[in-house]
Amino acid sequence: MTSQSLLSFLPILATGITALLVLFCASFRCSHGMIAFMSALGLLISLVLTFIDFDQSLMQVNMPILIVDAYGLFMMQLMLIFGIILIIFSYEYWRAQTIAPQEYYILIILSLVGALVMVVSDHLASFFLGLELMTIPLYVLISYFSYKKHSLDAGVKYLILAGASTSLLLFGMAFIYVQTGTMSLIEINDRLNDGLVVGPLFLIGFALVLVGVGFKISAVPFHLWTADVYAGAPLPAAAYLATISKGATMALFLRLWQIVAPSMPKVAWIIAILAALSMIGGNLLAFKEDNLKRLLGYSSIAQFGYILMAILSSGVTAFEAFLFYLSAYGVTILLIFGALMCMESKRHEIFALKDFNSLFKTHRFLGIVLCLGLFSLMGIPFTAIFMGKVLVLMAGVESSQWILIAALLLSSILGLFVYLRIANAIFLSPNLGDLIPVKRTPWATSLLTMLAIATLALGLWPTLATNLMPLPYEQMSQTE
């Protein structure tokens, strides 16, 4: 390994070391605050390491199964930022619970290591290893409230379905290897460019990989687990699923699709159908849902349908749309889940829509930030996801994706009715129950404020984010 390779992979190594240090401290019964502080500090150090020798890191650093290029570096930074935010909100959440949460932080960081491996994977083997390292801790995180039936049910359901999707994914990788003779994404790209005929085995293999990816991002019709798992999981685990887990999977799938797309143009129709069904189906399922956690699960189906549309488009605008929408959705959903974690307590579980009645009057700050997050999910102008949808629409127009554009517009209209129901409860509905107990730390309040500002800033000045994004789009799957 060269010194440049070591510098490029230091963030992954530092994140793994952070997990070991947190495990060591947890074994000595360190306080919850100390464990959370060490976790956040370790991830912050990992984030800083992504900027060391930054100019050099923009050149591709290749290893047999991993590659750090501008795209992989950006995605690592995004995943680490989401991880730090999630750790801070998790402290806010777990300090109000009755069980010790030290193991939770270890599992989150270990899963994050898998996500970082995925976003820099250049080999089907590293893709699988990163996916499993990311997924296995989720089985425990989802069922962390093992004394609650719905939490344990959610964990078991995710375990069974994730195991089935992983089996299909492995079968798909095996078929691709049989057809191409390699599992390296760069070598697969080279052989397809050299005229390798895409045979039935390759098509079957890619279809099975698509099923595995579809499950991880809960695309229709592989979405049946989503609402139950979101409802049963602790709020931090559901937030992790919605941001880091799905984001890392989409990051890897974009690499894979850009390699096989020129040789498999007809397969784009299959992905287009998945995107359209997800955009419309997600909001239709959420239309009459009264459980907010389930509603956010259905919402994520629609949101990742929009991201699939960006993947199917081509050109620089499509690449910007993909990265911007992924970033905007992460900021928005962490703002919403962060507000919910501040409202959660061991005495009161926030599930039903009625729990948010008159929130603006009882807890004005939380009511404002929660509504801002909902307005962003609706696509209200001057919010982050609105600008993300504009970029996706521009990419769709450039690629003549007219059917998907119609699906996006219809889905956005449906989304207005979905999220306005919650906004109506927050602002207008009378409070008929007990007040929600809220005790925020200054850290949580500051972070919610920063996320709210970021949600508006991305909507008003999208160039703040697009200027930081790696370009050009066409070079992602090529070597220097």
Each domain of the chain, given as residue ranges in start order, spans 266-480
Mean pLDDT of 286-306: 89
Mean pLDDT, the chain, as a whole number?
A: 85
- Tens digit of each residue's pLDDT (9 = 90 or more) over 378-419: 889 889 999 999 999 999 998 888 899 999 999 999 988 888
Q: What is the pLDDT of residue 195?
A: 74
Distance CA 103, CA 80 (A): 19
Read out DSSP for 137-199? HHHHHHT--TTSHHHHHHHHHHHHHHHHHHHHHHHHHHHHHHHHS--BHHHHHHHHHTT----
pLDDT in tens, 127-150: 999 999 999 999 999 988 877 788
What does the alpha-carbon distance between residue 197 and residue 193 come to, in Å, rounded to a whole number?
A: 10
Question: Whole-angstrom Cα distance, residue 213 to residue 165?
Answer: 8
> At residue 110, does pLDDT exceed 90?
yes
Spatial distance between the Cα atoms of 99 and 119, rounded to a whole number of angstroms: 33
Task: Give the type of residue at 153.
Answer: D
Taken in order 452, 457, 460, 462, the sign of the CA dihedral is: negative
Pairing assessment for the beta strands 61-62 and 67-68 based on DSSP bridges: antiparallel
User: What span, in angstroms and rounded, lies between the C-alpha atoms of 165 and 161?
Assistant: 6
Nearest to 306 by CA among 386, 191, 425: 386
**Cβ neighbours of 315 (radius 10 Å):** 15
Please say if the pLDDT value at position 84 is more than 90: yes
CA nearest to 285, candidates 223, 207, 377: 223
**Per the structure block, which two tokens stand in for 375?**
């307005």
- Over residues 437-475, the pLDDT tens digits come to 556 678 888 899 999 999 999 988 888 888 877 764 444
Q: How much is the pLDDT for 103? A: 85
